[in-house]
Each structure stands twice: as structure tokens, then as C-alpha cells.
């Protein structure tokens, strides 16, 4: 039965690869799937955005210092890790029967589902921790750099949880499919901007995974350790956070470069505000490339471009999130190949794929950690209710606005 399901899901993945455009940013292959379903071709080149940008208005940030009355206890157990893609703000646009519908159903959750998932995580005693705090690099007695697991100090009775959000770039293809368009600053806070199904501009804090979590932690400060939120895993081929900050391989006209510089200036205060309010960043490659099928030279060019265009804006990060969950060099669990070594040489230390549990392993031959994340999405809502019951009950979360593709429960 499992084999049949597995074969079926591989078939669906191949189907998704056929109908989704290259570089769409959707994960087509997870680590717990048979490798080999890859997407090919470079990302589409996009024209710079001319959407309105809000001027930043400075304001004091919430104080994330810990409550001294809370008893902290040492925690060395599993740190659960759940990841999301951008959430669907308008299901009627995502689930409209077009060619994107199946992929969006598989890899995304709706705003309604996301709200219920956050409530459930909170009720079950999870507390958000920073992925950067879970492991640290140190020098052993021989002077060799290694990674080690930190003992986390968390409030008694709580369970630590990392949240990460892939492809928070606000890709062009998402804009007509029910997603928000970009993050903006309004009244000193992060808001989303987008168009509703009637085409009216909407500024909101209730339609985007980032602003929804901000508000949730504001209402429930004990859902977060020291105000931390989640990791935003960014590609670069259509810019970041809704701002078209990328270059064009074919060259940039003076006008295009001028618009790009305006986008860069506009996104900087957004990045600063996100960092100030508990968000942090990781690389998801520049072009959403599959590391299992890319050659070393491709990875080098892609990584350098990411560092130049994204890293230069968000600052240094040790976190790398494999696009499609695709592991480099055949197998990064049992061996350390040339792509892994190259990424390590660029400062990356924690490498995350996607899997059926919050697996992690400290490598012994190189100073690095590899880990898997579980995926909160339509596929697991439909087919893996049991496995995700520790987080939420798919039966209670599932959005009726989804198309009728069936569930296993
Ligand atoms: Zn992705």
C-alpha cells in the first residue's frame, strides 16, 4: 500500500513538474520522495516591479526580553521543525481550476488553515525558537571546527519549534493566484499589500503568513522565546519580499537598473523591521536550483549571485534550505561531496531538506548540521493526518474551499 502511495505521489510530482513553470518556486521533490524528479531550465527573467512602496515610518519595537517570572528549564530533546510556503489569501483565485490549482493545493495552506494551525501549535505547548540557537560552531581541543547541539533554555512545560517559510519572494506567478504581492511598512509595522479578487488594492495584516504570525505572537507572547518568529528562506531570481531587486543575466538597461536600485532602497527598511521583530533569513539558492542535478559550476554561479543580490541585503546567514528538498552530491547524510564542501566554504553550516520527521544529524567530517523539516501543506493535510497530529488535526484544519481531491481520513 505504502509503495503504491509512494509511486502515486511520485507520479503526481512528475505531473506537477510538467504543468508548473520552471522556477515557479514550488517544492516538487521532498527528501522522503524518490529523488530524480527535477525541474530544469533557468528561472524566468522578470521585469522590475512598479508597485507602490510605502515610506518607512520609524517606531519603537516591542520589547522581546524574557519575562523574569517564567521558570526556564534545560531542553536537549528533539526540536521540531515545520515549514510553510506563502499562504493562500484568496482560495477562490488559487482553486479556480487552472493549471496551477493542483500544485497550489499540494504545497500551500490557506489563510484559514494557517490560523487554525497556529492556534493548535500554541494550545499544544509549542514555543518558537531561533534555528540559529539550536546548534553552534566551536573549536575542539585539536583546534578543529565542529558543530554541537546547544542545550536550549525554555519555559517549563513548553516544546521548542522552528518555523521556516520557503519562497517568501512573492513570485510573479503567485500574484494572480490568490497571494499577497509584497510586504510594506505602514504605521511602523509590517503589512502586506495586494489586490483582492475584484482588483481593489488591499493593505492587511490578516492575509500573509508573516503578518499573521506577528499578530499572533503579539496576542500570545508565550508562543515565542524572546520574540523570535521564523526563518524566511529566500531565492533571488525575482527579488525578495515582493521587491524586484534581481539583475538580469542578459544585462540591465540604465532605466531597469534605476528601478532596481529603487526597489533595493524600498526593501531595506522592510528587512530591518523584520529582523527587529524576530524574523531571520536563510538561502534557498538564487534560482531555485535542484542541488541533486546541478553541476558544481552551476551551484557556484548560483550561490555567488545569491550572495551578491540577496546576502548583500539580508546579511550573513549560516542557513541553507535545499530547493525541492533535493540533497547535493547524491547523499549528504552519509558523505560530504564537492557541492556540500563548496557551500560550506561560503559560510553555510546548517543544511535543511524536507522529510517525514524533524531529523537532524551533526556531521563528523565537517563542521555542519543536516536536518529535515516537516511540511505543513495540502499534501500532508490530505494524506498524513496521523503523522501531523502532534501539531494539529487535519480534520479540524482542512479548508472546505479546497478542490475535491479527497483525503485519507
Ligand atoms: Zn522552494
Task: Give the model confidence (pLDDT) of 256-313 as tens digits.
Answer: 999 999 999 999 999 999 999 999 999 999 999 999 999 999 999 999 999 999 999 9
What is the pTM for the complete model shown?
Answer: 0.86
Ligand 1 centroid to 205 CA: how many Å? 23
Residue with the three cell numbers 500573509: 208
Ligand 1 centroid to 67 CA: how many Å? 36
Ligand 1 centroid to 141 CA: how many Å? 39
Mean pLDDT of 73-96: 98
Between residues 186 and 67, which one has the greater pLDDT? Answer: 186
Residues within 5 A (CB) of ion ligand 1: 27, 166-167, 323
The answer to whether 353 and 372 are in contact (CB under 8 A) is yes
How far apart CA 376 and CA 82 sit, in angstroms, is 7
pLDDT in tens, 324-372: 999 999 889 889 999 999 999 999 999 999 999 999 999 999 999 999 9
Ligand 1 centroid to 58 CA: how many Å? 32
Between residues 69 and 392, which one has the greater pLDDT? Answer: 392
Ligand 1 centroid to 283 CA: how many Å? 10
Q: What is the pLDDT of residue 312?
A: 98
Under the banding of pLDDT at 50, 70 and 90, the label for residue 69 is confident
Mean pLDDT of 370-390: 98
Q: What is the pLDDT of residue 64?
A: 56
Ligand 1 centroid to 212 CA: how many Å? 21
Mean pLDDT of 11-18: 37
Instruction: Check whether 27 has a pLDDT greater than 80.
Output: no
Ligand 1 centroid to 34 CA: how many Å? 17
Mean pLDDT of 25-36: 37
Q: What is the sign of the dihedral through the CA atoms of 270, 311, 166 and 226?
A: negative
How far apart CA 23 and CA 302 sit, in angstroms, is 13
Under the banding of pLDDT at 50, 70 and 90, the label for residue 97 is very high
Mean pLDDT of 155-167: 98
Under the banding of pLDDT at 50, 70 and 90, the label for residue 65 is low
Q: What is the pLDDT of residue 331?
A: 87
Under the banding of pLDDT at 50, 70 and 90, the label for residue 66 is low
Q: What is the pLDDT of residue 378?
A: 98
48 φ, ψ (degrees, to nearest 5): -60, 150
Nearest Cα to Cα of residue 391 among 122, 211, 134: 122
Ligand 1 centroid to 323 CA: how many Å? 5
Ligand 1 centroid to 284 CA: how many Å? 7
Ligand 1 centroid to 60 CA: how many Å? 33
Between residues 247 and 59, which one has the greater pLDDT? Answer: 247
Q: Which three cell numbers stand for residue 303?
A: 550561490
What does the mean pLDDT of the chain come to? 88
Ligand 1 centroid to 121 CA: how many Å? 23
Instruction: Check whether 249 has a pLDDT greater than 60.
Output: yes
Q: What is the 3-state secondary structure (H, E, C) of the chain?
A: CHHHHHHHHHHHHHHHHHHCCCCCCCCCCCCCCCCCCCCCCCCCCCCCCCCCCCCCCCCCCCCCCCCCCCCEEEECCCCEEEEECCCECCHHHHCCCCCCHHHHHHHCCEHHHHHHHHHHHHHCCEEECCHHHHEEEEECCCCCEEEEECCEEEECCCEEEEEEEECCCCCHHHHCCCCCCEEEEECCEEEEEEECCCCCEEEECCCCHHHHHHHHHHHCHHHECCCCCCEEEECCECEECCECCCCCCCCCCHHHHHHHHHHHHHHHHHHHHHHHCCCEEEECCCCCCCCCCCCHHHHHHHHHHHHHHHHHHHCCCCEEECHHHCCCCCCCCCCCCHHHHHHHHCCCCEEEEECCCCCEEECCCCCCEEEEEEECCHHHHHHCCCCCCCCCCHHHHCCCCCCCCCCCC
Under the banding of pLDDT at 50, 70 and 90, the label for residue 63 is low
Ligand 1 centroid to 167 CA: how many Å? 5
Ligand 1 centroid to 28 CA: how many Å? 8
Ligand 1 centroid to 204 CA: how many Å? 24
Ligand 1 centroid to 64 CA: how many Å? 30
Q: What is the pLDDT of residue 111?
A: 98
Q: What is the sign of the dihedral through the CA atoms of 80, 84, 90 and 94?
A: negative
Ligand 1 centroid to 139 CA: how many Å? 33
Instruction: Check whether 405 has a pLDDT greater than 50.
Output: yes
Mean pLDDT of 103-116: 98
Ligand 1 centroid to 105 CA: how many Å? 15
Instruction: Check whether 161 has a pLDDT greater than 70.
Output: yes
Ligand 1 centroid to 292 CA: how many Å? 14
204 φ, ψ (degrees, to nearest 5): -150, 160
Amino acid at each position: 500500500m505504502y509503495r503504491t502511495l509512494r509511486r502515486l505521489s511520485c507520479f503526481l510530482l512528475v505531473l506537477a513538474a510538467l504543468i508548473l513553470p520552471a522556477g515557479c518556486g514550488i517544492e516538487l521533490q521532498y527528501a522522503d520522495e524518490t529523488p530524480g524528479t527535477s525541474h530544469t531550465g533557468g528561472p524566468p527573467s522578470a521585469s522590475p516591479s512598479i508597485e507602490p512602496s510605502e515610506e518607512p515610518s520609524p517606531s519603537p519595537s516591542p520589547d522581546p526580553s524574557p519575562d523574569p517570572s517564567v521558570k526556564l528549564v534545560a531542553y536537549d530533546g528533539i526540536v521540531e521543525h515545520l515549514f510553510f510556503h506563502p499562504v493562500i489569501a484568496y482560495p477562490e483565485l488559487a482553486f479556480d481550476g487552472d493549471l496551477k490549482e493542483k500544485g497550489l493545493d499540494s504545497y500551500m495552506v490557506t489563510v484559514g488553515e494557517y490560523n487554525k494551525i497556529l492556534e493548535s501549535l500554541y494550545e499544544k505547548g509549542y514555543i518558537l525558537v531561533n534555528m540559529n540557537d539550536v546548534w553552534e560552531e566551536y573549536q575542539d581541543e585539536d583546534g578543529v571546527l565542529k558543530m554541537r547541539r546547544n542545550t536550549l533554555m525554555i519555559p517549563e512545560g513548553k516544546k521548542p519549534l522552528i518555523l521556516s517559510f520557503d519562497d517568501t519572494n512573492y513570485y510573479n506567478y503567485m500574484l494572480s493566484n490568490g497571494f499577497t504581492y509584497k510586504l510594506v511598512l505602514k504605521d511602523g509595522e509590517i503589512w502586506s499589500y495586494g489586490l483582492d479578487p475584484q482588483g481593489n488594492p488591499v493593505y492587511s495584516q490578516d492575509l500573509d503568513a508573516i503578518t499573521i504570525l506577528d499578530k499572533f505572537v503579539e496576542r500570545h507572547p508565550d508562543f515565542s522565546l524572546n520574540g523570535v518568529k521564523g526563518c524566511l528562506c529566500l531565492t533571488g531570481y525575482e527579488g525578495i519580499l515582493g521587491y524586484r531587486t534581481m539583475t538580469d543575466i542578459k544585462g540591465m538597461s540604465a532605466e531597469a537598473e534605476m528601478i532596481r536600485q529603487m526597489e533595493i532602497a524600498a526593501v531595506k527598511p522592510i528587512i530591518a523591521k523584520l529582523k527587529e521583530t524576530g524574523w531571520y533569513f536563510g538561502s534557498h539558492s538564487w534560482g531555485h536550483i535542484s542541488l541533486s542535478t546541478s553541476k558544481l559550476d552551476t551551484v557556484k554561479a548560483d550561490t555567488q549571485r545569491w550572495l551578491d543580490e540577496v546576502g548583500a541585503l539580508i546579511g550573513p546567514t549560516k542557513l541553507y534550505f535545499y530547493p525541492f528538498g533535493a540533497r547535493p552530491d547524491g547523499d549528504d547524510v552519509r558523505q560530504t561531496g564537492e557541492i556540500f564542501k563548496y557551500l560550506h566554504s561560503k559560510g553555510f553550516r546548517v543544511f535543511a531538506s524536507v522529510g517525514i520527521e524533524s531529523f537532524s544529524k551533526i556531521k563528523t567530517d565537517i563542521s555542519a548540521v543536516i536536518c529535515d523539516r516537516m511540511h505543513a501543506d495540502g499534501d500532508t493535510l490530505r494524506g498524513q493526518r496521523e503523522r501531523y497530529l502532534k501539531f494539529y488535526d487535519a480534520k479540524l484544519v482542512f479548508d472546505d474551499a479546497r478542490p475535491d481531491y479527497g483525503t485519507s481520513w
